[in-house]
Chain A
C-alpha cells in the first residue's frame, strides 16, 4: 500500500462526504464502503494527526452503522487520544469506547494516557477519560486507576464529581476491592446537599439499592417503607409511582399496608387505557402473585379480559397470572375458560395456553387435580384442538396418570378409544405421540374396555400407515395385548358355560401353579424365562393378587359381552389381514412385532378350529395373559442409577463402531418413567414365539441374519439394554448370553423399585381423591443447582461488609470495626503493592495536602474517631446513621419527584 501522500491529506474526504456518498449509493453500498475503508487504511497511517483523526472518525461511523470491523485500528485510536488537540482526543476516545473490549491486546497501553487525562485541569478531558473508563474499564484498568477516580469523587466541579460516581459503579463491578476504599466517599457524595448529584436517576438507583439491601437489614426496610408509601399517595408521576410499587412488591412484601396501597395503585394501572400501564400493572401483579395471591384474585376480571388483548405481551402476562390463580377449587373452571380462549387464539398463543395448563396441572404429581376423570377427558379434548403441538407433554401425562391413578383407568381407556377410532387424527403429525399413548393405554388397561374388538379395529385401520414406525410398533403391541385379552375372556367364558370350573381356573393362577406352568416352557425358551424373573421390576405376588381380583370382577361383566367362536375367528382373521403386509416392512421393529403376532395368530387358529380349544392353546394363552395383566407402576428416575454395574461390563468402551452398524436406527428418547412393560410384553411375546415360529413358519432369511448379527455383537447390545431397560419398550434381544449377565443386578433392581413402590400401594382407597402413586424420591429429575456468577457475589459481599460495618453496628461491633479497619488497611496496602507510582498514593492517604480534599479529610477523621468510640456511644451513632439513611431516601425521592414530573407518554 502506498504511503499517504500530500494529495491524500489535501483531498481527504470528510465524514460528511462519506455520508452523502452513501446516501446516493442505492445499490452498490457495500462496494462503496469497501472503497472508503481502503482510503481510510491509507489515510490513517498519516503522521498528520488531523488526517488520522478524520480517518478514524469515518471508520468509527462505518463501524457503528455498517458493521465494519475496526479492531485493526486500535493503535491509531490510542495515538489520537494522546494528541494535545481536544477534537482529536474526542475522536480517539469515541473510537476506543466503541471498539475496545477485554480482549483488545493494546488496551493496557491507554492506562497512562487515561491517568494523565483524569488528572488534567481541563474538566472536559477528565470527562472524556471517565466516559471511556466507564465503557471499557477492565479489571486491570480499574485497579490501576482507582486512586485517580477516588480523588475525582471529591472534585470541586460538580460536573466531574457526578461522572466519577458513575464510573465508580463500573469500577466496583470489575474490581470489588475498590469498594473498601471508595464506599465511604461515595456515601458522602450522595449525602451531600448538592441536588444535582442526588438527581432523579441516582434516586431510582438508590431505591434499587435499598430494594437489594432490604433483605439483609430489616431495620432499614422499616425506615424506608413509610416515605415510599407517602410518595405513592402523593405523586402524580407514573414512573416514580411504578418504581415505588415495584420496590414494595419485590422487597417489602411483609408490610401489609404498603402492599395494600400498591395493589390499589396497580388496579389504577390495570384499568387505564394506556397499554403500557396495563402491561406494567399485570407485570407488577405477577411479581406479587407468589406472596399475595389475593391481589391477583381481586383483579380477576381484568386479568381474564386481558387474555383477549391485542398485544401478545399483555396476553402472555395475563396468562401467567391466570396460571398463578389456579387452585384445587377452581382448576376446572379456569381450564375451561383457558381452553375456550385457546380455540380462538393464534397458534403460538394457543400453545402457550395449553403448555401452561399442562405444566400447572402436573405440578407436584397432579397436586391440584381432584377429579381425574375430568382431567383425562380434558387432555383428550386438548389433543383435538387444531393448533395443538403439545403432543409429547400430553403423551407423558396420559401414561403417567394411567400408571399412578388406578381409579381413572376406565375413563382413560374411553378417552383413548375416542382418539384411536378417529381416522382424521392420524393425519396430524403433532398428534402421533398422543395416539401412541392412547394405544398403549388401551392395550394395557383393556379390561376396562366395553368393546375390545372395536379397539383392535381402530388400531389396525388402514390409515395407521401414516404413523411413524416407532408408534406403529406400539399399535401392533397393543393390538396383540387386546387379542390376548379377548382370547382369555373367551376361554373363561367357555369354561364357565361348560361347567363351573371358574374357581379352579382362578386357583390355577396361584403363584405355585403359575411358575410350574412357566417351567414347562422354560426348556424351550430359557433365556426369556430368566429375563422374566430377573427384570420384572414389579412385585409379582402383588400383581397376581390384583390379577385374580380383576378376573373375578371382570369375568362376570365380560360374559355379557359374549365372545363367540365366530367373533374370535373374525378377530384373528382381521389381525392376520391387517398385519400381513407389515411382515415385509423395512422397519425392523414393525416387521418383527407383526411377525410375532402373525405367528401367534396362526398357532391359535390351528388350535381352536371347529370350536374346540386344545389344552396347549389355553395354556399358552393363559401364560401370555398372565404376563400382560401384571400391574405396571411408575419407576423412579433414579432407579437406574442404583443398579450396580456388573463385572465385565464395559460401559466406557468406545461404541463408535456400534454407530456404524446401526447408524440410522434411532433409539427412542428416554422418558422419565418406564413406558409400557418391556419385560412383561417381550416375555409374553418371546415365550410364545419360539414355538410358533418353529411350527408355523420357517424363519426367513432376514430374521436369521438378524439373530446371527445379534449373537455376534452381543456385547454391544448388552449395554444399551441395560441403560434403556427402564426407559423404552425396546424388547431385550433374545440372547442367552446377555440374560446370564443381567440376572443378578436385575434382581437388585426389583428389590429397589419394590421398596419405593410398596408403601404407596397400601395407601387408603377410601379417599375422595383417587390415589396417586408417588415415589418417595426421584419423581423429579435431580436439578443441579447452577452457581451464579461470582463477580456479583464478590461485589455484594464487599458492599455488605461495609454496610454491616457502617449501618448495622451491633453491640459487639468492636471486633467488626477493628476487622473493617484492618481490611481497609489491607486494601490500601494492596494498592501500595499494585501501583508503581507510590507518590500518588501518598496524595490519597494524606488528603490534607491537597486543597480540594480538605472537606473529605474532615469526614475521614470523623469516621476514624467514630470507630474509636466506646461501645456505649455506638448506640447513638447507630441512630445517627439511620437518620442519615432515611434522610437520604427522602432526598432521593424528592429528587426523583422533581425530575420526573415530566409526564410519561
Chain B
C-alpha cells in the first residue's frame, strides 16, 4: 500500500476533502490533520515538497488557495505522487472547468469518485483523464 491518505486543505487550514486508505478513529484523524496542516502550511515556496511526519511521508503541493496533501509510505516515489496530485487537479479542472475550492466543497462526492477511480487500495490504478471521468459523466447523464 503506497498512499495512506489524501487531504485537501485551504489556506486557512480548513479541511475540504479527506480520504483515508487505512482506518483511523475520528480523534486520530483530527490530531493528524492538525499536525500536518500546521507543518506544511508554515513552509515556504523555496523548501522542498516533502515532509516526514511520524511514520508517513507527506507530499504536498499548493494550487491557488488549496493545498493537496498526500500521505504515503516511506518507500513511495515522491515524484510520482507529485505527478499524481497534478493529474488529479488536471482531471478536476477538466470536469469542473477552472476548478476552485467551491467546486470541491459542493461536489465532494464527485471528487471522491474521481479519487476512487484513480486510487485503489492506496495504489494509483488509473492515469487517463478520460477513463477517470467516464463513469462520472455517465452518472451525470443518467441522473
**With A169-B123, A200-B127, A904-B79 in contact, do A310 and B46 touch (Cβ < 8 Å)?**
yes
Give B105's nearest chain A residue, CB to CB: A19
Show 30 A/B contacts (Cβ-Cβ < 8 Å), sorted by A: A64-B18, A68-B26, A91-B109, A101-B23, A124-B135, A166-B125, A169-B1, A169-B121, A170-B121, A173-B1, A199-B127, A201-B125, A201-B127, A202-B123, A205-B123, A242-B79, A243-B77, A246-B75, A275-B46, A276-B48, A276-B49, A276-B78, A276-B82, A278-B48, A279-B48, A279-B50, A311-B43, A313-B47, A314-B47, A904-B86
Number of chain A residues close to chain B: CB under 8 A: 61
Asked if A127 is an interface residue, CB under 8 A from chain B, the answer is: yes
List of 7 A-B pairs having minimum Cβ-Cβ separation, nearest first? A166-B120, A239-B79, A275-B48, A201-B124, A101-B23, A134-B121, A311-B47
Asked if B100 is an interface residue, CB under 8 A from chain A, the answer is: no
Q: Which residues from 52 to 90 on chain B have a C-beta closer than 8 Å to any C-beta of chain A?
A: 52, 61, 75, 77-80, 82-83, 86-87
Give A131's nearest chain B residue, CB to CB: B116
| Contacts A67-B26, A310-B44 known; 10 new A-B pairs at CB < 8 A | A19-B106, A64-B19, A65-B16, A68-B26, A124-B139, A239-B80, A275-B46, A278-B48, A313-B47, A900-B80
What is the minimal beta-carbon distance from B16 to any residue of chain A, in angstroms?
Answer: 7
Contact B79 A280 (CB under 8 A): yes
Give A169's nearest chain B residue, CB to CB: B121
A312-323 Cβ-contact flags toward B at 8 Å (1 or 0): 111000000000
Chain B residues lying within 8 Å of A57, measured Cβ to Cβ, are 109
Chain A residues lying within 8 Å of B78, measured Cβ to Cβ, are 242, 276, 280
Chain B residues lying within 8 Å of A243, measured Cβ to Cβ, are 77, 80
What is the minimal beta-carbon distance from A787 to any residue of chain B, in angstroms?
Answer: 18
Contact B109 A313 (CB under 8 A): no
Contact B48 A314 (CB under 8 A): yes
Asked if A750 is an interface residue, CB under 8 A from chain B, the answer is: no
Identify which of A61, A65, A166, A238 contacts B79 (C-beta below 8 A): A238
Q: Which residues from 52 to 89 on chain A have a C-beta closer than 8 Å to any C-beta of chain B?
A: 57, 61, 63-65, 67-69, 86-87
Contact A311 B46 (CB under 8 A): yes
Chain B residues lying within 8 Å of A19, measured Cβ to Cβ, are 105-106
Chain A residues lying within 8 Å of B50, measured Cβ to Cβ, are 276, 279-280, 313
A222 to B53, CA, bound (A): 36
Asked if A902 is an interface residue, CB under 8 A from chain B, the answer is: yes
Give A68's nearest chain B residue, CB to CB: B26
Asked if B108 is an interface residue, CB under 8 A from chain A, the answer is: yes
Contact A276 B112 (CB under 8 A): no
Q: Which residues from 247 to 296 on chain A have a C-beta closer than 8 Å to any C-beta of chain B?
A: 250, 275-276, 278-280
**With A246-B77, A899-B127 in contact, do A86 and B120 touch (Cβ < 8 Å)?**
no
B4-42 Cβ-contact flags toward A at 8 Å (1 or 0): 000000000001111101010010011000000000000
Contact B79 A276 (CB under 8 A): yes
Contact A313 B51 (CB under 8 A): yes
Give A280's nearest chain B residue, CB to CB: B78
Contact A135 B21 (CB under 8 A): yes
Q: Which residues from 296 to 315 on chain A have a C-beta closer than 8 Å to any C-beta of chain B?
A: 310-314
Identify which of A162, A169, A311 contacts B48 (C-beta below 8 A): A311
Identify which of A87, A101, A902 contacts B86 (C-beta below 8 A): A902
What is the minimal beta-carbon distance from A135 to any residue of chain B, in angstroms?
Answer: 7
Give B15's nearest chain A residue, CB to CB: A65
Give A314's nearest chain B residue, CB to CB: B48
Binding site for A on B (CB under 8 A): 1, 15-19, 21, 23, 26, 29-30, 43-44, 46-52, 61, 75, 77-80, 82-83, 86-87, 105-106, 108-109, 112-113, 116, 120-121, 123-128, 131, 135, 138-139, 142-143
Asked if A483 is an interface residue, CB under 8 A from chain B, the answer is: no
Asked if A163 is an interface residue, CB under 8 A from chain B, the answer is: yes
Contact A905 B82 (CB under 8 A): yes
Asked if A569 is an interface residue, CB under 8 A from chain B, the answer is: no
What is the minimal beta-carbon distance from A397 to any residue of chain B, in angstroms?
Answer: 28
A91 to B113, CA, bound (A): 11
What is the minimal beta-carbon distance from A551 to any residue of chain B, in angstroms?
Answer: 57
A130 to B119, CA, bound (A): 12
A65 to B9, CA, bound (A): 10
Contact B127 A239 (CB under 8 A): no
Give B23's nearest chain A residue, CB to CB: A101
**With A67-B26, A102-B23, A127-B135 in contact, do A166 and B123 touch (Cβ < 8 Å)?**
yes
Contact B18 A65 (CB under 8 A): yes
A739 to B41, CA, bound (A): 64
A556 to B80, CA, bound (A): 74
A124 to B49, CA, bound (A): 36
What is the minimal beta-carbon distance from B90 to any residue of chain A, in angstroms?
Answer: 9
Contact B23 A239 (CB under 8 A): no
**With A279-B48, A313-B50, A904-B79 in contact, do A167 and B61 touch (Cβ < 8 Å)?**
no
Contact B17 A64 (CB under 8 A): yes
